[in-house]
Structure 1
Amino acid sequence: MSQTRKESSSDGETKPQTSRTSFVNRFLRGSKLRSSKAESRKESNDLKTSDFQPSDETQTPAPLDAAKALSSEMELELGSRTQKNGQFLQKLGKQAVDKGLDLNNCRLTTADVREMVALLPFLPDLEKLDISWNDLVGGTLPLITEQMHLVNKLKSLRLGSCRLTTDDVRALGEALKAVPDLEELDLSWNSKVGGNVPRILQELQAGSKIRTLELVDCTLTSEDGTFMGQLLPVLQSLEVLDLSMNRNIGGSLNSIAQGLKSTSSLKVLKLQSCGLSQKSVTLLDAAFGYLGGLRKLDLSCNKELGGGFEDLPAQLAMLEHLEVLDLHQCSLTAGDVVSLTQVIPLLSHLQELDLSANKKMGSSSENLLSRLRFLPALKSLLISNCALERETFTALAEASIHLPALEVFDLSWNKCVGGNLKLLLETLKLSTSLQVLRLSSCSLVTEDMALLASVMQTGHLARLRKLDLSYNDSVCDAGWAVFCQNVWLLKELTELDISLRPSTFRDCGQWFRHLLCAVTRLPEITEIGMKRWILPPSLEEELECFDRDHRSSIRFDHGGYQ
């Protein structure tokens, strides 16, 4: 769940254009039809009042003729502008969406921004504007904000990672009053937002319709955090608040926690990597009592948080609608785990739980993991790199049998799994919903690979889409062979990773031929990771032939064969 620039960028990839008809055409079609209907009514009225008198050739052209000429001229101008607008969007490879202008990750230039601004007078009903991930937008935002009054029905404005300047964010603050219906504002990944939050959000008054506010990695200051705490009571419609990756706001959490008590409609709260401390848990727990509708809570990557849960967080247990809880990389202590054992099983609606990268859980989480059986709605369980021991892994395996909805299961970097995968046999047989299984760096052995093969042979794991077996260098060629001979049974598989550790290079055995054969029988497969496997010339030639003659759409990610 770590938020990275790369992930956000990939989310914003352009999609192929499916129609040459621009969204501007659709915007303007309604107004053109209304205009035509009005002209028709006018023509009808003119005919009724003319008494059908013969025209005089010496008279001035009839009003009807003048109206037709004017209408024709306007339609020509409108058509020209519509064509230019369509060409602009087509040039950027963007698909038309009603009432939305999505130009994220388009490498916009200053000239493009000017063209976009020229569009705004023709889009009075525009509700969504997204120009995120365009670095060159920085310094040009005033061109847009000066015309913001033309799109005063705007509900969503996304400006993430635009390298906004100080002048940009100040201009934005002044322009927000022109869009009173704004519901979504994203300024993430803009460092100049830090220190300027009061200037930007000062126009948000009581009655504001803001529902989503995202300020991820904006270099927010402690003063910004204090202002946010004072602003929150004004944002009565707020449902999503993301202040992640702002390490300096931990010192102002007292103000933020006080403000949260007035946001009863909040559904998502993300404070990942915000410099939270042990004391922060107490402050937030006091606020949780007022957030009965909270669905998602992310406190991950706050390494100083460890020990904060040792005093039982009573209000956390009252979040009965909580669906996502992310506590990965929080340095949880044995005392934290004991307290969470009393809390987490009470969150009966929990669907996603991430406890990864808390290495002290290894010897103290047996009771917690065994009680996960009381979370039947759980869909995603991430416990990678928790230094699990045989006893704790056994408790987890026994509990996982009672998780019928499980779709994502990540046990990576827990060495105890190797040689003990048989403990998960019943889970693998019963988990009809499992789509993602990650067992990277688990010290798997040939016996474990044989177990996976037997599960596949009996028709289980039928919905598996992603399987990560990377960094298991201890599996011998026989183990890879039995696995590759049966992997073709996973008909919905899209990604498979069997890469070796960065420090390891190893000759690829004859099992690679079984893998190539299996791939031809996997209709959904798109990527196979096998970095640092060394292909002999004969097998490399077979792969080249395969790429050329069969399924070139499949990517073998090898990082360059040695």
Structure 2
Amino acid sequence: MSQTRKKTSSEGETKPQTSSGNKFLRGSKAESRKENNDLKTTDSQPSNWIQKTAPSETAKPLSSEMELRSSMEKYEQFLQKLGKKTVNKCLDLNNCGLTTADMKEMVALLPFLPDLEELDISWNDFVGGTLHSITQQMHLVSKLKILRLGSCRLTTDDVQALGEALEMIPELEELNLSWNSKVGGNLPLILQKFQKGSNIQMLKLVDCTLTSEDGTFLGQLLPMLQSLEVLDLSINRDIGGSLNSIAQGLKSTSNLKVLKLHSCGLSQKSVKILDAAFRYLAELRKLDLSCNKDLGGGFEDSSAQLVMLKHLQVLDLHQCSLTADDVMSLTQVIPLLSNLQELDLSANKKMGNSSENLLSRLRFLPALKSLVINNCALESETFTALAETSVHLSALEVFNLSWNKCVGGNLKLLLETLKLSMSLRVLRLSSCSLVTEDVVLLASVIQTGHLAKLRKLDLSYNDSICDAGWTIFCQNVRFLKELIELDISLRPSNFRDCGQWFRHLLCAVIKLPQITEIGMKRWILPASQEEELECFDQDKKRSIHFDHGGFQ
């Protein structure tokens, strides 16, 4: 905090009704808070909640104005040391490399933060084994709404202490314990308080080594979590065995909006079990069943209730080993999800020769913003169907066709789509066997002013494009004024010298005000081009990372 700021703050302390504890949480949040005038705090006037909130009765009273000022300075010095800023009602120490001494210092500050609503100490290894020192102070921050302890190496003693402390924060709305393996086998100890009902809206237990018994307990607990909106159980491979209990509990969570079961050991039978629960989840917005490789074949006769998810906006089925019969069944359902905005079917290689009808019917999804269908072994007929459909997807922002070799030599089929895509932000064509004619076609589309909103363009692993093609492309890439990332890297097994097109790329980059990353892996720069790049790097006004194969 600057000296001017400190002076202004102390001048505002003359009002006796202002909460001493709340003054610690004065300040400006980073970029998002700058954009919100309702939440922004000025130097000359404290925010409304500081003016109106009285000190917590449980907080330790400050004996003097001097002690208050000293404590405020210690709090701000603590945050500055960790590279953090004060934010109203929020203590965010995520990934700060906290030491044991830092933990003690933070605990000592909690009595002065009675109105704290958000505490995030995720990704700090030294939290493990010391959480009891924090949980013992939970009664001092009883207004806490958000508690994030992801990847803190929590011990069994930690999770037991946490379970006892949750009783002290009845207003808790979000709990994140992801990436803590000791949560597995101890979930009842942690969530025992929730058995009496809870205001919890978001529960994240990603990669917690949950057991089948934990899954059974959670299924029994879900009916008591009537406010639950987000449930993320991803990367817990043993809970598939208790899916019956979980699905039964889901039937009572009518407010659920997000359900993530990514990589949870689900099987063909799991689809039928979940399908029975979908009719009760009318408010669901996001469903992630990805990376469950044994799901393949499960949708053949068990996806009828999926159509009940009328408000579904995101459906992720990537790497689920979908069969031709699965695709046939999904063809009857997915086009009826009229609010769908994001669809990921990638890494389902058996779709290649069976998805023509499904892709053709995607035209009935007018709200679709993201279509990810990379590495699906598309064939000529299916790619043609996709190209004809994509013309009707006017809201499309993300289009990923990477690792589909049939695109090479056939990019012209997407010509009308590329011309009409006013909203496209991300285009990925990595490892599509593109030829020189494809890149020349893309350059002509760019030159005529189309794709003006493009921010990320991936043309990597297309090694068949000659230097002349790259030259034409680099001469025209300057028209992509909003471009942030460009990737033209070569395959890991291939190294080539940069041609004269590299000079055109440098000239283009100067005219791209927002670009920060250019992937050029395995392109070798000769001495003359190395010198050009060094001269370019001397321009300290730009920060652009050229990720190339090195100098020759």
TM-score, length-normalised on structure 1? 0.88
Match of 1:318 in 2: 308
Q: Which residue of 1 aligns with 2:512?
A: 522
Distance 1:555 1:19 in 2: 36
Whether contact under 8 Å (2:377, 2:405) holds in the other structure is yes
1:272 equivalent in structure 2: 262
How far apart are the structure 2 equivalents of 1:541 and 1:227?
A: 64
Mapped to 2, the partners of 1:35 and 1:317 lie a distance apart of 52
Match for 1:422 among 412, 429, 441?
Answer: 412
Q: Per-residue deviation at 1:132?
A: 0.5
Task: Report the 3-state secondary structure (helix = DSSP H, G, I; strand = E; otherwise coil) of the residue aligned with 1:205.
Answer: helix
| Displacement of 1:21 | 5.8
* 2:229 matches 1:239: yes
Question: Which position in structure 1 is the counterpart of 2:170?
Answer: 180
Instruction: Give 3-state SS (helix, strand or coil) of 2:304's partner.
Output: coil
**Which whole-Å CA distance do the structure 2 matches of 1:29 and 1:544 have between them?**
54
- Say whether 1:539 aligns with 2:539: no
Counterpart contact for 2:271–2:302, Cα < 8 Å = no
The aligned runs of 1:426-465 (5 Å cut-off) are 426-465=416-455
Once residues 62 and 113 of structure 2 are traced to their aligned partners in structure 1, the CA distance between those partners, rounded to angstroms, is: 21
Contact 2:76/2:86 (CA < 8 Å) preserved in 1?
A: no
Please say if 1:88 is aligned against 2:81.
Answer: no
Contact 1:310 1:338 in 2 (8 A): yes
Corresponding residue for residue 481 of structure 1: 471
User: 1:394-440 deviations in whole A, cap 9, x for unaligned?
Assistant: 00011011111100000000000000000000100111000000000
Superposed CA deviations along residues 157-203 of structure 1, whole A, max 9, x for unmatched, are 00001111111111001100000110000000001111000100011
Amino acid paired to 1:539: Q
* 3-state SS of paired residue (1:185): strand
- What are the superposed Cα offsets for residues 258-295 of structure 1, whole Å, 9 maximum, x if unpaired? 00001000000000000000000000000001000000
Shift of 1:541: 1.0
Work out whether 1:153 is the aligned partner of 2:149.
no
Query: Matched residue of 1:85: which SS?
Result: helix
Counterpart pick for 2:192 among 202, 208, 223: 202
* 8 Å contact from structure 1 (residues 431, 461) kept in 2: yes
Q: Over residues 520-559 of structure 1, what are the superposed CA-to-partner deviations in whole Å (9 max), with x where a residue is unaligned?
A: 0000110100000011111111111111136551110115
CA distance in 1, matches of 2:156, 2:123: 18
Moved more, 443-452 or 205-214: 205-214
Whole-angstrom CA distance in 2 between matches of 1:93 and 1:550: 24
1:341 and 1:371 in contact (8 A); partners too: yes
CA distance in 1, matches of 2:345, 2:491: 24
The whole-number CA distance in structure 2 between the counterparts of 1:556 and 1:539 is 13
Aligned to 1:558: 548
| Structure 1 residues 512 and 177, CA gap change in structure 2 (3 angstroms) | same
Aligned residue number for residue 126 of structure 2: 136
SS at match of 1:373: helix
Q: 2:154 aligns with which of 141, 156, 164?
A: 164
| Distance change in 2, residues 1:530/1:29 (3 Å) | farther
- CA RMSD in angstroms, aligned pairs only: 1.9
Contact 2:151/2:179, CA 8 A, preserved across alignment: yes
2:459 matched residue in structure 1: 469
The one-character-per-residue Cα deviations of 1:80-103 (angstroms, maximum 9, x if unpaired) are 111111100111111221111111
Is the Cα contact below 8 Å between 2:300 and 2:328 reproduced in 1?
yes
In 2, the alpha carbon distance for the partners of 1:291 and 1:138 equals: 37
Cα gap change, 1:35 to 1:91, in 2 (>3 Å): closer
Residue identity matched to 2:452? A
Residues 48-67 of structure 1 aligned to structure 2 (within 5 Å): none
TM-score for the superposition, normalised by structure 2: 0.90
Secondary structure of the residue aligned to 2:249 is helix
Identity %: 79
Give the Cα separation in 1 of the matches to 2:85 and 2:255. Answer: 34
State which structure, 1 or 2, has the greater radius of gyration over its C-alpha atoms: 1
Alignment size in residue pairs: 509
Distance in 2 (alpha carbons) for counterparts of 1:382 and 1:416:
16
How far does residue 119 in structure 1 lie from its aligned partner after superposition?
A: 1.2
Q: 1:550 to 1:130 in 2, by over 3 A?
A: closer
Aligned partners of 2:525 and 2:550 also within 8 Å: no
Are 1:376 and 1:402, in contact at CA under 8 Å, matched by a contact in 2? yes
CA distance in 1, matches of 2:324, 2:385: 17
Equivalent in the alignment of 2:278:
288
For 2:504, the aligned partner's letter is H
**What is the CA deviation profile of residues 430-467 of structure 1, one whole-angstrom value per residue up to 9, with x for unaligned ones?**
11000000000000001001111110111000000000
How much has 1:561 moved relative to structure 2?
3.6
Query: CA, structure 1 residues 192+255, in 2 after alignment: closer, same or farther (shift >3 Å)?
Result: same
Cα distance, 1:33 vs structure 2: 4.1
**How far apart in 2 are the matches of 1:561 and 1:470?**
20
User: Residue type of the partner of 2:352?
Assistant: G
Structure 1 pair 215/492, CA: closer, same or farther in 2 (3 Å)? same
The yes-or-no answer on 1:498 pairing with 2:491 is no
1:90 partner SS: helix
In the TM superposition, residue 35 of structure 1 has moved relative to its aligned partner by 7.6
SS of residue matched to 2:438: helix
> Do the aligned partners of 1:18 and 1:95 also contact (CA within 8 Å) in 2?
no
Residue 360 of structure 2 is matched in structure 1 by 370
- Are 1:229 and 2:229 an aligned pair? no
User: SS where residue 546 of structure 2 aligns?
Assistant: strand
The one-letter code of the counterpart of 1:181 is: E
- The residue type paired with residue 520 of structure 1 is I
Report SS of the residue matched to 2:471.
helix
Q: How much has 1:205 moved relative to structure 2?
A: 3.1
Deviation at 1:207, TM superposition (A): 3.3
Unaligned runs of 5+ in 2: 21-60
Hey, what does 2:342 align to over in structure 1?
352
**Cα offsets for 1:305-360 (capped at 9, x unmatched):** 00000004111011000000000000000000000000000000000000000000
2:389 paired residue number = 399
2:328 aligned partner: 338
Name the CA shift for 1:364/1:199 in 2 (closer, same or farther; >3 Å): same
**Cα distance between partner residues in 1 of 2:547 and 2:90:** 37
